[in-house]
Structure formats: C-alpha cells, structure tokens
Structure 1
C-alpha cells in the first residue's frame, strides 16, 4: 500500500512526538503498518508518501536512481539569475556535503497556493518570490540551506511532486491510497 499525504506545516514526520502536544502523523488516521517514505521537516509542507512495502524507501530515495522531487520555495528577496544558476549548477557546500546539480527556476508570477497557517512572516521593506527546485537527493533541510547559501533564505517550502505524481489536489492534512496508475507515476521521471 502506498499513501499520498499533504503534510501540513508544523507536523512531525513520525508517529510519536518528541515533546508533549506535538502534532505527528498519528493525528491523521493512517492505516496500521505504514511508515513515511523520506521526510519533510516540521517547517515544510506538501506531498509525503507513506507505505507498508519493504524496500520502497530505498528504491525511491537513493540518489543513484536519480528520482526527482519538486519543491516550491518562497524566499526572501528576488533571486538574481546568477543565484538561480548557482542553485542549478550544484556544488553548494552544505555542512560536509556538496549538492548535486538540480533544476531551478524563478516563478513569475508565483504559484497559486493557499495561505499557510500560521502565515509566513513578511517584511514590508523586503519582497518575497518563489523558486521551483527539482532535486534528485534529499539531505536534511537541503533546499533551505541551498537558498540561504545563495543569499535568499526560504520562508515557506512545499513539496509538490514526486516523480510525476502531483500532490497539488490534496488539501493540507488530507491523504489518499494510491492506485496502480498513480504508483506508476511515482517511478516516471
């Protein structure tokens, strides 16, 4: 079984809380035996897969399979063409790791996404803009670290696609079991 879930902001990607009162995957009524495939940090939202299939996680997330994951990042400021090119080129140092090349583009106009609860902080003197990034790897807080490294910190991060599976139709907090055609879409690049 494979489940697509739109993880809301502020939800921990595990079934047991680290602290009392923390929202976790246990709050959403998933069938027993499923586990998250990959992670989204608490500050991120969007498409998360859960599965009860052994090996699904490794098959999907191993960078050797070059499996794409697409993110929308609302950033502080308006990235320059050079900053977008640096993101795409890869080689950005994140701790002891250098990022692989990815697809990156500035979205103008920005995407039509529902507002976040709680809202993103805004500064009247600093505009925000949106980037679309497609990565084949997923280090801890990688997109946030990448955009910060090129001078444009991420304010909001939404994963919208895994392979060709688009999670945009699911409202925050909703999930659905995937059928064979949808599962096949996960594997298409």
Structure 2
C-alpha cells in the first residue's frame, strides 16, 4: 500500500522499520507462567514481565494509539488460553474471556477498550461483562491497600455483556501490579454466579509486599 511506502510501520517495542512488532520484541512474551499473589482465588498467569520490550508494547497499545497491535496481542492470547494449565468444563473452547474494565475517561481517550480489541482479535469468545462504577479514581501510585479501597464495591456486572450462564470464565488484564483489580473482577463475577477458571495478564509488575 502507498501509505506503507510513505510511512513504513515501525515496531512499537524497538522502532525497527517494517513491522508493528518485530520477532525479537515478540520473543519477550512466552507461555503462561504462574504469578503467585496473596489470598484465595483462581490462579493468575502472565505472559511476560512488565519491563523492556514487553512494557513498551503494552504501553503503545494501551496509551499511544497503536491499535495495530491488537492482532499481535490477539495471537498471543489465542495461543495462551488453551495452554493455561487449568481445567475447563467442556474444554478450552468453552472458555469466555472477560476483560478487566477501564475507567470511562480512559476508554474514551483510547477509542474503546484495548483489551476487548485484543480478545476479539484472538478469535475467542469475549464477554465485556465488567465496568467500573462511580468513584473509581486513578490507581497509578497507589499501594495495594489503597488500590483495594479504591475498587471496593465499584466493579459491577454489565448485564448485556455477560457470558452464557455456567460458562467457564478467564479474566483478562494487561498488567498485574498488586492484584487488586483482578481480585475485584473475580469477586464481581463470582457474586453473579460465574466460575472464574483463571486470570490471564499480558504482563506482570507484581512484587510481593507485606500488605499484599
């Protein structure tokens, strides 16, 4: 295409010309690996550390308008969900991805949910079943306890976005920092009668802290 001749695509991770994501940056992501966060709940898995090229790719997709990366992350999710070492009632093909919500202002700024875009690009069943209620503030800079307080009672179900009753659910997020967001998502889904099989995040910045 002429546009590609005039403005060749660049890797969002390292700026190499010719592709949205070069092979070297893509290799920052691997198969799902367990991230052990405090508390009871479904197992949590990540595809990469939130560092280096993986961090740059997530930030480009989430904050810098690189929606062309939806296909890249979609391919990673398509390979990762069947590879999760968990049991799905009826098989992995029955699992529904439920993306963690974004604040409304952030979603408007990004042109919609980046996680929904990646999940749909994966060709898997997607249920945009969660939203933040009023009062949720920006979480950057908050510790684990403050993040939990920020989200307490403020993740709600979106009735028109729910998966079929009884479906196994995998909660999807882009980065886990303290586990507060994914924990609130799991709690909301469980309160609605859904069994959450696993939590899958693209990256992890989690480090164990005394307060969890």
TM-score w.r.t. length of structure 1: 0.33
Which protein has the bigger helix share? 2
Which protein has the bigger strand share? 1
